Structure 1
């Protein structure tokens, strides 16, 4: 794209918002930031002096007061680290910002060391003693969900000195490797047609309408990643080994079990999800991509055509103000309250939308702390899929606002449920846009595009989960080479995508740009969990069940206070029932049925 084209595109998109972080801190050098770090350090030191070694002697009200002080300090530290993370995400390649980010995290880590004793000693209390305290104190009973969630790690807790060692070393261990990965990926430039593209930009070119541009982008991506393959493989091996060591010390039998425990979901439920999706590959992804190949008048697609725009697809640029109106209208049709909360993100400077060099790739919603508000990071380039990404991340943000009423310690939602509002927001936006489209060809293209998004959320994420599972299992037997990792990637890709695709060696490197493998091992299955859950919920909504919206908002307000069984019970859904997953996957299958009817 020439400079003139880039300027024209930017003009067509309109004024893209950049976030205003002053609701957290006015700037990196503002005295209030240093003052809060100093105050948190002093408070944590006093907290340790007051309660360390005394937990078993506290009555219910005294323990409640201790938790309240712990929550206050933790929220202050979370605010500091959120600010540093958001500044860093805005430009991960700036050395000064990198030093600021690292400095804040190191100092916060040291302060947390003084507070680490609290949850360790809480977990050493016997169940009967904790239950007696909860029954005697209404103030303590308000924290029952948080106490419950802390104590799930009780069987896997190490000695206090080991826990403190792991905590203090994390900034020079796992966190340092994650930072190296982020900085390396963000710093890579992909030379293509005279331009030096970022990873976000070259990935965007892979959904170009021009097949030559898609191929060039795929080969450019693969070439640059391959040159950095040894480093990415070393980071992956190091983090997998680090996890294996800690899992063995904590007594986890499987690499995914620690993540499941923190998600408060049983291993068997995740196994059932993975198994159901993998068994559905032929009916879902294999069937759809054969249709897409037929649509493109070929027997097989090249892998760079997976995200190719569909014939008759609306490839116009969607200006930012239109994207905002589209999403908020869809939210408002479901619930005026949902739209009202969403509107605050646009008016309050809570969104950073432009794609720019150095900025973190992809998109996310950061909850920060309940005393402030969430922020959204996007890389908005005006495509319809970018509108859907906005709907997705705004769903996260609205969820985080609603859950904030539970307070800092109980607002956070397990990953398995954290994707619910985001995927539901996407579905609302899609259905609203589809209803407003009359042209049959365009409607067919929209339906196909939605199917692709759902396959990306369910099939691709379970393929990612399977890649991680195989990598972590294989790492137990020794370090994996770039070729080993490429082989695993190819195996799961062929299994999940089917025989409708042709692959080459460039594709063997594509695992390297997936940040979830580095940032949060086994995070990815949460997307599939959330999508299937939302599909089941949306089926109920379509049946016009009275009071659905109110029950849905109550589910979001619950934050982390309820487990998935309790949250789904009002809707008559049960994730432990295999029929639950079949119901969710059936929605995708029926969409493909509808598409087949148009051929």
Structure 2
């Protein structure tokens, strides 16, 4: 980041000292847990210590994420990984204690004043299957040189890749950013440069993905999960029927979004839409925003959506928590890292001034606002699921986009902004759907053995065709190679949380329009409680909705369908402008 010598930075010596100190405290707590029988008083002490340790471990792992974004994390990785594994082992011991408790003892735990704030996590531990200690320790010991190692290897492979566009070499992040350029030739050249680069690395990346998936399958055979999806649903505290209801609703609306893609192709003077034109901005003005202009744009529309969100974002900008610079060594994707010990966040992105970049900035600030709302919450209750993480970020992003749409003065501007919003709908309903289907198909075949590169490409193509239904020409054959979420070792199916977050955020925005400023308190409470309730309970408490039924999801989809209809109506008057 720009300002390394700030409140979050540690040199390698200080980092080592802190990680060793945390490790020592965890070891002492583990001895204590093994030594004593379970009681409400003891459990209160153990949970409080674990909560504090969780914050300290998160502080270290977030710093690694920030340094990794600039390829400067190697000397930190080993100690950070060891701390994370030890903390997971600590949680396992606590879970073991709770799961083995007599019903009367467990009821006493739930009623005790000291453990009241941990009731949800205690109930989860009580209900979950517990591994034998020997199995748990074996999985922990093998992870650093197995699952985690493969994930780190993928990141190093991508970090070293170069893509040649217009006789100049670019990193993945830089080459990918050209996809939303107003220059059609640049979009096309960068697309094929990316294709060529991924094709050269597909053998290595196929090996990585085979190993991550294969390792996870074998691990789940021991932990009791029948599939990686079951593991993901448990991690994200969400019921299978909720996801099935969501996809059932989404699939029924895909033909409408196919109409949008076909209409955009027609606007651009093409029979069908080439993939490299999907992100093409529909604006003849070729408007770009300087970073300062982009920040002002975001802050203005945050102020209309949530005053606390605007105030927080102003702080993040003032304190230089955002690294927006375009540098070769930066990672390909934007991210936000939370630092719970100092109540701060850091955002990394490559900002080039497009509307898409402005919206990414808003998205990541939404993540940071979520982190901010958790200040003062127990560390164990800050472990919110990915579905709700993507809800906060998407709420912020859509607040900016819809605010801009409300202020649009011309039909051309309205069409441009509708296109920006609908691109996000397509990403969540078609692109993310293809990733979900691909991951499901790949795991199924991986159970029978290693999946070849050729077969992996076929599985990706089949998932793509089912999701896009022929509406996009020449989709990337090696699409699976460049999606970093597939290579996160401990986050299987990191795809549906985006679709969930998008539709859930739309429901929150509808609720905000209904209740006005009074909704701000409810929204902030939702974020604050996101780590200590199930997703279904969150929806019931703050939206009074049953999200296990398709009807809930159809409400959000109908809002998006209305955007498609507006887009098609407006495009009829604008076609001569674009062709």
TM over 0.5: yes
- How much does 1:496 deviate? 1.9
In structure 1, how many angstroms separate the alpha carbons of the residues matched to 2:88 and 2:270?
Answer: 58
- Give the corresponding residue for 1:18: 2
Q: Structure 1, unaligned stretches of length 5 or more?
A: 1-16
- Give the corresponding residue for 1:34: 16
Q: 1:267 aligns with which of 235, 240, 243?
A: 240
Query: Could you say if the C-alpha distance between residues 245 and 289 of structure 1 is closer, same or farther in structure 2, counting changes exceeding 3 Å?
Result: same
Structure 1 residue 68 and structure 2 residue 48: aligned? yes
Secondary structure of the 2:11 match is coil
Secondary structure of the 1:597 match is helix
- Give the corresponding residue for 2:577: none
- How much does 1:542 deviate? 2.9
- Summarize the alignment of residues 469-488 of structure 1 with structure 2, pairs less than 5 Å apart: 469-488=440-459
In structure 1, how many angstroms separate the alpha carbons of the residues matched to 2:23 and 2:140?
Answer: 16
Q: Is the 8 A contact 1:368 1:374 kept in 2?
A: yes
- Give the corresponding residue for 2:211: 238
- Give the corresponding residue for 2:193: 220
- Give the corresponding residue for 2:141: 168
Q: 2:486 aligns with which of 509, 517, 522?
A: 517
- Give the corresponding residue for 1:283: 256
Query: Could you say if the C-alpha distance between residues 35 and 212 of structure 1 is closer, same or farther in structure 2, counting changes exceeding 3 Å?
Result: closer
Q: Is the 8 A contact 1:247 1:255 kept in 2?
A: yes
- How much does 1:73 deviate? 2.5
Structure 1 residue 576 and structure 2 residue 556: aligned? no
- Give the corresponding residue for 2:270: 298
In structure 2, how many angstroms separate the alpha carbons of the residues matched to 1:429 and 1:534?
Answer: 13
- TM-score under structure 2 normalisation? 0.93
In structure 2, how many angstroms separate the alpha carbons of the residues matched to 1:195 and 1:374?
Answer: 34
- How much does 1:224 deviate? 1.1
Superposition CA RMSD, Å: 2.0
Compare 481-490 and 552-561 and name the one that shifted more. Answer: 552-561
Query: Could you say if the C-alpha distance between residues 150 and 351 of structure 1 is closer, same or farther in structure 2, counting changes exceeding 3 Å?
Result: farther
Q: Is the 8 A contact 1:190 1:199 kept in 2?
A: yes
- How much does 1:119 deviate? 2.9
- Give the corresponding residue for 1:508: 477
Q: 1:439 aligns with which of 410, 421, 429?
A: 410
Query: Could you say if the C-alpha distance between residues 111 and 447 of structure 1 is closer, same or farther in structure 2, counting changes exceeding 3 Å?
Result: closer
Tell me the alpha carbon deviations over residues 570-596 of structure 1, each in whole angstroms, 9 at most, x when there is no partner. 322221121011111111111001111
Query: Could you say if the C-alpha distance between residues 21 and 479 of structure 1 is closer, same or farther in structure 2, counting changes exceeding 3 Å?
Result: farther
In structure 2, how many angstroms separate the alpha carbons of the residues matched to 1:245 and 1:34?
Answer: 33
Secondary structure of the 2:545 match is coil
In structure 2, how many angstroms separate the alpha carbons of the residues matched to 1:133 and 1:111?
Answer: 22
- TM-score under structure 1 normalisation? 0.90
Q: Structure 2, unaligned stretches of length 5 or more?
A: 573-579
Tell me the alpha carbon deviations over residues 358-400 of structure 1, each in whole angstroms, 9 at most, x when there is no partner. 2121111112325432221111111110100011110111011
- How much does 1:451 deviate? 0.8
- Give the corresponding residue for 2:110: 134
In structure 1, how many angstroms separate the alpha carbons of the residues matched to 2:368 and 2:147?
Answer: 27
Query: Could you say if the C-alpha distance between residues 421 and 110 of structure 1 is closer, same or farther in structure 2, counting changes exceeding 3 Å?
Result: closer
Tell me the alpha carbon deviations over residues 469-499 of structure 1, each in whole angstroms, 9 at most, x when there is no partner. 1111111122111111111111121222232
In structure 2, how many angstroms separate the alpha carbons of the residues matched to 1:252 and 1:208?
Answer: 44
Q: Is the 8 A contact 1:20 1:350 kept in 2?
A: no
- How much does 1:428 deviate? 1.1
Structure 1 residue 47 and structure 2 residue 29: aligned? yes
Compare 257-266 and 341-350 and name the one that shifted more. Answer: 341-350
- How much does 1:19 deviate? 5.0
- How much does 1:456 deviate? 1.2
- How much does 1:518 deviate? 0.8
Compare 21-30 and 391-400 and name the one that shifted more. Answer: 21-30
Structure 1 residue 410 and structure 2 residue 386: aligned? no
- Give the corresponding residue for 1:588: 560
Q: Is the 8 A contact 1:370 1:407 kept in 2?
A: no
- Give the corresponding residue for 1:463: 434
Secondary structure of the 2:348 match is strand
Compare 542-551 and 429-438 and name the one that shifted more. Answer: 542-551
In structure 2, how many angstroms separate the alpha carbons of the residues matched to 1:451 and 1:111?
Answer: 42
- Give the corresponding residue for 1:82: 62
Q: 2:177 aligns with which of 190, 204, 207?
A: 204
Query: Could you say if the C-alpha distance between residues 340 and 545 of structure 1 is closer, same or farther in structure 2, counting changes exceeding 3 Å?
Result: closer
Q: Is the 8 A contact 2:337 2:345 kept in 1?
A: yes
- Give the corresponding residue for 2:150: 177
Secondary structure of the 1:392 match is helix
- Give the corresponding residue for 2:576: none
- How much does 1:430 deviate? 0.9
Structure 1 residue 254 and structure 2 residue 254: aligned? no
- How much does 1:289 deviate? 0.6
- Give the corresponding residue for 2:527: 556
In structure 2, how many angstroms separate the alpha carbons of the residues matched to 1:180 and 1:239?
Answer: 11
Secondary structure of the 2:350 match is strand
Structure 1 ranges of 4+ moved more than 6 A = none
- How much does 1:112 deviate? 5.8
Compare 473-482 and 295-304 and name the one that shifted more. Answer: 295-304
Structure 1 residue 109 and structure 2 residue 85: aligned? yes
In structure 2, how many angstroms separate the alpha carbons of the residues matched to 1:107 and 1:547?
Answer: 42
In structure 1, how many angstroms separate the alpha carbons of the residues matched to 2:431 and 2:351?
Answer: 22
In structure 2, how many angstroms separate the alpha carbons of the residues matched to 1:123 and 1:355?
Answer: 50
Secondary structure of the 1:406 match is coil
- How much does 1:553 deviate? 1.8
In structure 1, how many angstroms separate the alpha carbons of the residues matched to 2:389 and 2:410?
Answer: 35
Compare 200-209 and 379-388 and name the one that shifted more. Answer: 200-209
- How much does 1:120 deviate? 2.7
Compare 412-421 and 34-43 and name the one that shifted more. Answer: 34-43
In structure 1, how many angstroms separate the alpha carbons of the residues matched to 2:343 and 2:434?
Answer: 36
Query: Could you say if the C-alpha distance between residues 299 and 115 of structure 1 is closer, same or farther in structure 2, counting changes exceeding 3 Å?
Result: closer
Tell me the alpha carbon deviations over residues 220-263 of structure 1, each in whole angstroms, 9 at most, x when there is no partner. 11111111110010011111111111122222223200110111
Q: 1:118 aligns with which of 78, 81, 94?
A: 94
Q: Is the 8 A contact 2:388 2:530 kept in 1?
A: no
Compare 427-436 and 514-523 and name the one that shifted more. Answer: 427-436
